[in-house]
Every structure is written in structure tokens, then in C-alpha cells.
């Protein structure tokens, strides 16, 4: 079983930056690709970014491309989401997720484990 805990969310003004972290604990799986998703009030869960096990493949939603960067440190069992040039429309609860293969995916149904989420609020 994999336990994921997000941190780093908070309140930031438009144009600012935040760095989210997702720490994995428990019995983690080797070769797990990771993803970040977000959900704003009244909206469906939205793909944000994903990264393969080795970090060689990353994919981003068009809405965040060029502003957000996903990375991972497997030695620390941690994935990160660096968010720059934040916009009010980035306001959401951000979730990290893990799947049981090494391949990155933008499909939420491909992920087996989810964190509890961390709130990101961007004011204008």
C-alpha cells in the first residue's frame, strides 16, 4: 500500500510561485509513474502533469505548459510540482497520484493511489 501526502499549498497572489511536494510512504512500488491533478470547486478533476519512473518523460496540460514543472527524487520518494506565474484559474485542490507502471499517463483512471490533496488559492 502506498500513502501519498501533498504539501506546499497555500495562498499566493497572481504571478507568484508555489512548490508542491508529494511524499510517498509505506510500501511503495518500484517503477511507479506519478501525476498531479487538480479539482476546482464545481469542476471535474483536471490533469496537470505526469512524470515517468525514470523522469525521462513528462507531459503537461496545455493550460500549465511553460509555467509548471514536474520533477521527482526517487531516493527521497518525493515528487514536486513547481508552479510559476500562477493565475486565479489555477485555484484548486491539487492531488498527487501514483500508478503501478513506469509510464507517464494523463488519465486519472490509470492511477492507483491518491493523496488527500493540498489547497492552492491564487488571488488577483
pLDDT in tens, 10-54: 999 999 999 999 999 876 656 889 999 999 999 999 999 999 998
pLDDT in tens, 5-22: 999 999 999 999 999 999
pLDDT at 75: 87
Taking residues 63-71, what's their average pLDDT?
98
3-state secondary structure the chain: CEEEEEECCEEEECCCCEEEEEEEEECCCCCCCEEEEEECCCCCCEEEEEECCCCCCEEECCCCCCCEEEEEEHHHCEEEEEECCCCHHHCEEEEEEECCCCCCCCCHHHCCEECCCEEEEEEC
pLDDT greater than 90 at residue 74? no
pLDDT at 1: 77
pLDDT at 29: 59
pLDDT at 20: 98
Amino acid at each position: 500500500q502506498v500513502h501519498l501526502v501533498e504539501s506546499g499549498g497555500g495562498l499566493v497572489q497572481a504571478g507568484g510561485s508555489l512548490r508542491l511536494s508529494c511524499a510517498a510512504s509505506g510500501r511503495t512500488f518500484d517503477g511507479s509513474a506519478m501525476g498531479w491533478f487538480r479539482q476546482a470547486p464545481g469542476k471535474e478533476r483536471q490533469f496537470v502533469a505526469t512524470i515517468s519512473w525514470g523522469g525521462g518523460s513528462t507531459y503537461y496540460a496545455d493550460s500549465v505548459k511553460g509555467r509548471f514543472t514536474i520533477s521527482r527524487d526517487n531516493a527521497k520518494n518525493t515528487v514536486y510540482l513547481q508552479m510559476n506565474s500562477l493565475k486565479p484559474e489555477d485555484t484548486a485542490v491539487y492531488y498527487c497520484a501514483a500508478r503501478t507502471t513506469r509510464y507517464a499517463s494523463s488519465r486519472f483512471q490509470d492511477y492507483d493511489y491518491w493523496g488527500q490533496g493540498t489547497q492552492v488559492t491564487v488571488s488577483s
